[in-house]
Amino acid sequence: MTEALASWRDGDTKRAILEFVRTVVAEVPVEERVAVFDNDGTLWCEKPMPIQLDFILRRLTAMAEADPALRGRQPWQAAYEQDHAWLAGVLTEHYAGDDRDVRVLAAGVLAAYDGISVEEFEEQSERFLRETKHPTLGREYLRCTYAPMVDLLDLLAGNGFTTYIASGGGRDFMRPISREVYGIPRERVIGSAVALEYRPDERGGTIIHRAEADYLDDGPQKPIRIWSRAGRRPLLAAGNSNGDLAMLHFAQRPGKPSLRLLVKHDDAEREFDYVAGSEQALAEADRRGWTVVSIRDDWVAVF
């Protein structure tokens, strides 16, 4: 325990985490030690756009290049014209409760991979994550994970916690690399999903993507999906946005220790400085005494 969290600065936040882990180890059976983590903006970088959005936009751009009729329709238009302002506005509006443009973007996302097999989608996802660099940080996407959060995941795993990713991002996008970068096996990745269809063939059958959503793992859906997968309330939840509020609230059980972590992006020099999409979460953290993690003040290293 004394050697844990090497990439965290000594201070109130680090002490709160270590004290929580000590208390859980002393008081809570191993089978009840569940922790859940958002991914975008919590475990890896989400600016100037979520990593999966970059992956999807490249596909939408290719579709627009092949079919000029798509260039006047959103979201293909924004992808083709590299209209990052429209795309950023979609996410900001979503976290403010306005999902009109989210539905427009979602329709394009669903169309982009209609009919592709789950294996081919994973191959494309993994190749993209291993070969593509972040547009401003100059490092491969797989090296955009937050070192302090990986340290925290390691600390929890070493003390009997079962850790899950509970992300608004795509479940099948994260699965190929989750164990390598986070130590979390693919079966413990909870994320948004499209509808799937099984088609029999001589090779054992194929599962393909359909152009319709199964669920969006955000907001109130996060506790539902956590319960459906884990069958328990978590003792620790970590997020960074308004979409994580329900999950953070859910991480409490009467008579059990709990820890709610909210990552605050306030380091423009080493990462990014923004609060858009997290205003409600920050206000709730202040009101309820949750632990706010300052990237600027609490992390020795970011990546």
Query: Does 65 lie in the same domain as 21?
Result: no
Same domain, 253 and 178: yes
Report pTM: 0.93
Together in a domain, 262 and 175: yes
162 and 34 in a common domain: yes
> Are residues 73 and 161 located together in one domain of the fold?
no
Structure tokens at 135: 């547009």
Whether residue 100 is contained in a domain is answered as yes
CA atoms within a 13 Å half-sphere pointing along the CA-CB vector of 72: 2
| Cβ-Cβ contacts under 8 Å for 256 (sequence gap 6 or more) | 27, 28, 32, 235
Same domain? For 143 and 246 the reply is: yes
List residues bridging with 34 in a β-sheet.
Answer: 162
DSSP, collapsed to helix, strand or coil, labels residue 96 as coil
pLDDT of residue 93: 82
**Residue 70 covered by a domain:** yes
- Record the tokens describing residue 162, joined without a space: 């079962």
Domain, as residue range, for 259: 12-47+139-193+216-298
For residues 178 and 258, state if they share a domain.
Answer: yes
Structure tokens at 24: 């859980």
* Amino acid 231: pLDDT: 97
Residues 220, 95: one domain?
A: no
CA distance 79 to 92: 17
Alpha helical stretches, state H, 67-142: 76-81, 84-95, 100-112, 118-131
- The reply to whether 248 falls in a domain is yes
- Residue stretches of the chain with pLDDT short of 50: none
For residue 200, is it within any domain? Answer: no
What total of structural domains would you count in the chain? 2
CATH number at residue 244: 3.40.50.1000
Residues 111 and 231 in one domain: no
- pLDDT of amino acid 101: 83
> Helix axis angle, 100-112 relative to 84-95, nearest 10°?
120
Tokens of 78: 């924004």
